[in-house]
Amino acid sequence: MRALVLVLLMVASVESLATTESSASAIAGASWWVDFGDEHLNELMSTGMANNHDLQAGWSRVEQARAVSTQNLSAFLPVVGFDVSANTSPYDSLGFQFGGLPRDPTAETPDVYHTGSAMLSARVPLDVWGRDVLNHRASRFDLLAAE
């Protein structure tokens, strides 16, 4: 009886792994055995689900494969960057000036000067040789194998 219950548990758990939420506790929440109305069966199943480390490890491998597959999609996304910089330096650090800065000759020389810049960049990856497509396809096959 106990072996039959464990086999049924494994079959139901594997089916629910492919179709339900993504945690071992969610698998335990699929209480199909409660419909039988047997308290002894309920105790066996709850004990089996709590102590089934193979199922939990297997589910973790499926989640890991799903995460790697999702991560491999990032190679197809555009990249946008924004960089801003500002500097304040002593005026003496400008060194020898050819002609100097255009300013009013009667004005006082400043102690410091300020510079700044901003840059916006965008990049769209082109997968000319198909490496990223093949990496994503391989990760999808790894996910299917893990499921």
Q: What's the confidence (pLDDT) of residue 44? A: 86
Structure confidence at residue 116 (pLDDT): 94
- What are the residue ranges in the chain where pLDDT is below 50? 4-8, 11, 13-22, 28
What are the Cα distances from residue 67, in Å, to 35, 70, 83, 133?
35, 5, 30, 16
pLDDT of the residue at 131? 86
Task: Choose among 22, 42, 17: nearest CA to 32.
Answer: 42
Calculate helix-pair angle for 53-72, 2-19, nearest 10 degrees.
10
Q: Global pTM?
A: 0.44
Question: What pLDDT does residue 135 have?
Answer: 86
